[in-house]
Chains A and B, each alone.
Chain A
């Protein structure tokens, strides 16, 4: 590769953690993007041009992210970027993309990312606030819980969720009996936090974090004698949760944007292709990355291979048929529904009780 001259190729880029604590997430995303590109290239590319992916590793660190961004921004052949995964990275890098009018589709959830100052930044996932509100309502109204404990990861994702969940849950009339924190990728032992939470007698635990820690939390809760329902966000929506957590994660409910059985046009084919290519279950991030790629490719098809063309396509797109549901952007934020999933019999299923 690399031999082809650039005029006959089209480049898009993806910036994600490829090494370090969160490398697994970047890995999933890149797999999905490559799947989408393979599909189009097998069909002969766009106007006979192959589409290629350039991967940048931000290591999940906001210090690295701007360097990656600058590299992409300064590279005229790159037309669009998918990423960054960490909100802190997206926040650190967005100014650079903006200055280069380079469209970016991110799945970071921090609400500030789409605060109106960076019109080239699109979010394909829902903000932390939206998720937290919905989950608070779900816990209070649908599950009838009144005393919640929160375990949140000490990054912007976790703290944002914690704050918003607290606000909404208390507004609804519930009580937050405990808020404990931990460090993603570093904390392995949760027994002090869980013991403390147990002392406060919550009737539900909200875990604002990712699947690895959630699996550990669920496993460690049992021996401590803490037996209350747990709910979480899209951050734990992954088959890996079950692999890691085993029996302990039975019954956990969480928000998600994607489930293989919630079928939209193309969902089934995507899931099958992903499985057969990687021998893995696609997760939320994979689905969103796949959809992001498809969106960009469609933009190129329709408006030509330019940054501005893609941007204007994204501004105007309405109900694009994504594998995780139809996509439209309002003020750069996607509009989509939240699914509630549940671990049942060692499988992720749609929960019996859904949000309205």
Chain B
């Protein structure tokens, strides 16, 4: 009994702290977005460049602290993964819960090509993107008939089937033993095997992904995608072919996830089916929703917070995931629209008598 009380007290304490943290952070972000929004284009540019330089120098700041540097590499990996899912979920509105599968395909493609066939890393990375894109195409197909929850369970199934193939097809994937010894990339004869090196590779990939997201969002195709997300029937009536665009989103998201998978494989030098479980897909999904579905800065923040959080909570080891769970539920309540929502970027915002009530 006393144990139960102790556990409950601890939980209450930790979630209380987190709750206050969330409230403060949301206020900060709200004020931040408002401030940022009234910036003119020029100031925005200056601010972005400043931010880029600052984040680009992270390895320098953290050169002493390998653990923090490693964590920031993970953050970058998740930013790219979350942004790649954002193409599917945030832009096309397709609830995909098997995104880790593409990540896995990319990782295994690079692992198998480099280890078994001695293909140079960069070339195998291209294959990672291609193979993952093909899988994206495959998974895109059911979405043409399925929606919402049905699609969600199908994508979970897809991810699990893939993982079971990785486990069972031992002659090809070495099964549960995983593939060790994945080499580091070389550029101009230099082998990149330091954390700093990987940081910059991923940093560049993240920038490219952000860039693509941004270009896409403010374009014809992006508007088409969002239209499908908002109302597929109306989108069709506007001459948009949802089949094509949804598959495009899946292929693009998958290809990017595939690339980051390939880099990840090289970074940890070892791939194993357990890296790509259903929970991994859930984590990526959570990042997108927590940050703000469809909102590029939101997704970046969401990925950052959720990649750091488990590390930050490492100190309270056994309570860690219990707290993580509470946090997730709490965020959905306190901040349903995400940390930086798409609506807030357009100058709107949530309110208690919100629209969703009044429309069916």
In-complex A–B contact (CB below 8 Å)? yes
- Give chain A's interface residues, CB within 8 Å of chain B: 18-19, 55-57, 60-63, 66-68, 70-71, 73-75, 87-88, 91-92, 95, 110, 112, 154-156, 158-160, 181
> B175 near A19 (CB under 8 angstroms)?
no
> B70 near A70 (CB under 8 angstroms)?
yes
Interface with A: B3-11, B28-36, B176-184, B293-301, which one? B176-184
Nearest to A95 among chain B residues (CB) is B269
**CB of B65 within 8 Å of the partner chain:** yes
When distances are taken between beta carbons in the complex, the residues of chain B under 8 Å from A70 are: 66-67, 70
> B318 near A19 (CB under 8 angstroms)?
yes
Contact flag A63-B175 (CB < 8 Å), given A19-B318, A95-B269, A112-B180: no
> Can you list 17 contacts pairing A with B, beta carbon distance less than 8 Å?
A18-B317, A61-B275, A61-B277, A62-B270, A62-B275, A63-B274, A63-B275, A66-B70, A70-B66, A70-B70, A71-B314, A73-B67, A75-B67, A88-B176, A92-B178, A92-B270, A156-B178
When distances are taken between beta carbons in the complex, the residues of chain A under 8 Å from B168 are: 154, 181
- Binary per-residue interface labels of chain B (238-280) against chain A in the complex, 1 for a CB within 8 Å, 0 otherwise: 0000000000000000000000000000001110101101001
When distances are taken between beta carbons in the complex, the residues of chain B under 8 Å from A75 are: 67
**CB of B191 within 8 Å of the partner chain:** no
> A19 near B274 (CB under 8 angstroms)?
no
> A19 near B176 (CB under 8 angstroms)?
no
**CB of B51 within 8 Å of the partner chain:** no
The A-contacting residues of B in range 315-356, CB under 8 angstroms, are 317-318, 320-321
> B320 near A62 (CB under 8 angstroms)?
no
> B320 near A57 (CB under 8 angstroms)?
yes
> A154 near B167 (CB under 8 angstroms)?
yes
> B74 near A159 (CB under 8 angstroms)?
no
Further 20 A-B residue pairs, CB within 8 A, beyond A67-B70, A159-B175: A18-B317, A18-B318, A19-B321, A56-B314, A57-B320, A61-B274, A61-B277, A62-B272, A63-B274, A66-B70, A67-B311, A74-B67, A88-B274, A91-B178, A92-B270, A95-B269, A154-B168, A155-B274, A156-B176, A181-B168
> A160 near B178 (CB under 8 angstroms)?
no
**CB of B170 within 8 Å of the partner chain:** yes
**Interface residue count for B (Cβ, 8 Å)?**
28
When distances are taken between beta carbons in the complex, the residues of chain A under 8 Å from B118 are: none
Chain B proximity of A119: nearest CB distance (Å): 16
Nearest to A86 among chain B residues (CB) is B274
CA distance A349 to B17 in the complex (A): 51
The number of A-B residue pairs with CB atoms under 8 Å apart is: 81
Chain A proximity of B233: nearest CB distance (Å): 41
When distances are taken between beta carbons in the complex, the residues of chain A under 8 Å from B268 are: 66, 92
**CB of B71 within 8 Å of the partner chain:** yes
When distances are taken between beta carbons in the complex, the residues of chain B under 8 Å from A158 are: 176
- Binary per-residue interface labels of chain B (132-175) against chain A in the complex, 1 for a CB within 8 Å, 0 otherwise: 00000000000000000000000000000000000110100001
CA distance A18 to B321 in the complex (A): 11
> B67 near A88 (CB under 8 angstroms)?
no
CA distance A66 to B67 in the complex (A): 10
CA distance A304 to B219 in the complex (A): 65
When distances are taken between beta carbons in the complex, the residues of chain B under 8 Å from A92 are: 178, 268, 270, 272
User: What are the nearest 5 A-B pairs in CB distance?
Assistant: A74-B67, A156-B177, A74-B66, A155-B176, A70-B70
- Binary per-residue interface labels of chain B (178-204) against chain A in the complex, 1 for a CB within 8 Å, 0 otherwise: 101000000000000000000000000
Chain B proximity of A24: nearest CB distance (Å): 13
Nearest to B268 among chain A residues (CB) is A66
When distances are taken between beta carbons in the complex, the residues of chain B under 8 Å from A61 are: 274-275, 277
Chain A proximity of B59: nearest CB distance (Å): 14
> B314 near A57 (CB under 8 angstroms)?
yes
CA distance A257 to B268 in the complex (A): 32
When distances are taken between beta carbons in the complex, the residues of chain A under 8 Å from B275 are: 61-63
Nearest to A181 among chain B residues (CB) is B168
When distances are taken between beta carbons in the complex, the residues of chain B under 8 Å from A110 are: 177
Chain A proximity of B161: nearest CB distance (Å): 14
Contact flag A88-B65 (CB < 8 Å), given A67-B74, A67-B311: no
> A91 near B270 (CB under 8 angstroms)?
yes
Chain B proximity of A30: nearest CB distance (Å): 10
When distances are taken between beta carbons in the complex, the residues of chain A under 8 Å from B320 are: 19, 57
Q: Which of B167, B176, B177, B272 has the most CB of A within 10 A?
A: B176
When distances are taken between beta carbons in the complex, the residues of chain A under 8 Å from B317 are: 18-19, 55-57
Nearest to B178 among chain A residues (CB) is A88
> B178 near A62 (CB under 8 angstroms)?
yes
> A57 near B177 (CB under 8 angstroms)?
no
Interchain CB contact (< 8 A) of A91 among B66, B70, B180: B180
Chain B proximity of A97: nearest CB distance (Å): 12
CA distance A55 to B318 in the complex (A): 10
CA distance A87 to B65 in the complex (A): 27
When distances are taken between beta carbons in the complex, the residues of chain A under 8 Å from B178 are: 62, 88, 91-92, 156
Nearest to B275 among chain A residues (CB) is A63
When distances are taken between beta carbons in the complex, the residues of chain B under 8 Å from A73 are: 66-67
Chain B proximity of A102: nearest CB distance (Å): 12
Contact flag A71-B272 (CB < 8 Å), given A18-B318, A88-B178, A156-B177: no
Chain A proximity of B177: nearest CB distance (Å): 4
Nearest to B317 among chain A residues (CB) is A57
CA distance A247 to B156 in the complex (A): 39
When distances are taken between beta carbons in the complex, the residues of chain A under 8 Å from B175 are: 154, 156, 159
CA distance A28 to B268 in the complex (A): 28
CA distance A160 to B178 in the complex (A): 12
Interchain CB contact (< 8 A) of B176 among A74, A112, A154: A154
CA distance A352 to B96 in the complex (A): 56
When distances are taken between beta carbons in the complex, the residues of chain A under 8 Å from B314 are: 56-57, 68, 71
Interchain CB contact (< 8 A) of B65 among A55, A67, A74, A112: A74
Nearest to B283 among chain A residues (CB) is A63
Interchain CB contact (< 8 A) of A71 among B67, B170, B280: B67
Nearest to B68 among chain A residues (CB) is A74
CA distance A19 to B321 in the complex (A): 8
When distances are taken between beta carbons in the complex, the residues of chain B under 8 Å from A66 are: 70, 268
